[in-house]
Amino acid sequence: MQKLWSQWRSTGQVSLRAAGRALFALAAIYTCAAAIFTGVLLSKIEREARFTRETQIPLILSQTRNAVKAERMASLVRAIYLARDRRLERQVQLQIQALAQGFPFDAGDRVVAGSKRVAILAKEIAAARQQARDSGAQNTTAFTFEERATAAYSEAIKTVDEMGKELSGDAALAADKLAEEIQSGAARTRFTVLLTLLMPGLFCIVLLWLARRHLAKPILSAIANLNRINDNTATVAPRSRPILTELAMIGDAVRSYGETATELRRKNVVLQALAEEDPLTGLANRRTFENFLKASLADGSRLGGTAVLMIDLDHFKSINDRYGHQVGDQCLQSLALVLLSVDGLSKSLAARYGGEEFVVVYNAESEKQALVDAAFLCRRIEATRIPLEGEQSMTMTASIGVSFTSKNDAAEMGDLISRADKALYLAKSGGRNRAISDHSAYAKGHVSRAGGKIIR
């Protein structure tokens, strides 16, 4: 516990192992203390029960027996007073003396003295009766002896009543003391049992609260940050740092991982763009074009077929030589904008194939429609103006080779590109600034001319 406290004071945190050891120590201390306290209390109750059985209960029984003796003595006093026979009086007197001698010393001094007094008064009653009988006809003397017997009888009965009250009071006092001790022991036992049962419950409540605040909450916060990382959102730092060192390290690691993942995603986006896009024009690069064309040929749901337009800027080397590479780059970028701005091409992709060559792949209804689309591109390209220094500008033209395959044909990607390239060669050798299909379209007259000068 001292190590845990010093760790808390120095760093404001505690390790999970130290917290577990502290909780284990507290549970062990409480268990030992509860066992010792309960054992001491039960031992005390056992001693009190033994004392009650060996001392108090026999005392109550003795007082009860003495009360019975007192009642018996009262009956004998009445018997000797009512008796008219000398022999009977003698027998009763002897019984009273025997009872008087049978009271133990623990019955109390007043009871013992009262029993002896009753025996003396019984003797006086018997003596007065005998004197009355011996007086014979002398009525006055006999009456006097009878009065003496009556007075002794009254005093004896009174003494016996006082003895009974004394014995009853002692028995009631002993019984009340016994009941009070039993009640006190029951109260102590009840308090001990309630305390023993209540403390673990309170400990569990406090432990659950601590676990929810300092264990579950940091874990849920780390899980929430992991979900944020999965959703590509920023992680959130907790309002207060977890007390447990291990959970604080986990939270820091998750947030650090989130920052690293965000940086990796950003770099992956850049790398993906570099891998799929042409850095100068922003169009797809050659690899992306080939993957797209392969997927298009494998798509059985496409309408009509797949068309490939191979586009090459006319006299691009002359443009670079005359105006410089910066103007040449502007021409490439302008051509890319023209290709991106064309509407109505189903599932199309424009890409830079290499150098001044571009390519467009899309789903066309027919080869004839693809040739019409290519001629439209030639006119759009020729209509594009490239600004020069001052107020001058220039235009450019492009030659386009068209290849087409329907969805029912089993054309290969390489074959389709090769056919488009051959058609492009025919367009360039036929005078440039035109679109030609690969199926001997030049010989058949399927040529779309878009005349105009290259430079103005």
Q: How many CA atoms lie within 13 A of 330 on its CB side?
A: 17
Structure tokens at 175: 């019984």
Structure tokens at 104: 């133990």
Separation between Cα atoms, residue 249 and residue 245, nearest integer Å: 6
Separation between Cα atoms, residue 436 and residue 399, nearest integer Å: 8
Separation between Cα atoms, residue 385 and residue 395, nearest integer Å: 5
List the beta strands (DSSP E) in 355-446: 357-364, 385-387, 393-395, 398-406, 434-437
Q: Are 344 and 446 in contact (CB under 8 A)?
A: no
* Residue 356 appears among annotated catalytic residues: yes
Separation between Cα atoms, residue 350 and residue 420, nearest integer Å: 15
DSSP conformational letter for 440 = T
Residues near 145 by beta carbon (within 8 Å), at least 6 away in sequence: 128, 129, 131, 132, 135
Buried b (16+ CB within 10 A) or exposed e, 361-381: bbbbbebeebbbbbbebbebb
Q: What are phi and psi of 13, to 5 degrees?
A: -140, 160
Secondary structure of residue 284 in the 3-state scheme: strand
Output the CA–CA distances (angstroms, integers) from residue 318 to 315, 321, 327, 455, in the order listed: 5, 5, 11, 10
Secondary structure of residue 5 in the 3-state scheme: helix
Run of H or E including 351: strand 346-354
Output the CA–CA distances (angstroms, integers) from residue 63 to 84, 97, 110, 174, in the order listed: 34, 19, 13, 9
Separation between Cα atoms, residue 264 and residue 19, nearest integer Å: 37
Separation between Cα atoms, residue 311 and residue 357, nearest integer Å: 6
Separation between Cα atoms, residue 400 and residue 307, nearest integer Å: 12
Q: Are 270 and 279 in contact (CB under 8 A)?
A: no
Question: In this structure, are strands 447-449 and 434-437 parallel, antiparallel, or unpaired?
Answer: antiparallel
Q: How many CB atoms lie within 10 A of CB 148?
A: 17
Catalytic residue among 166, 290, 356, 367: 356
Q: What is the tally of helices (H) and strands (E) in the chain? A: 14, 8
**Which residues does the annotation mark as catalytic?**
356
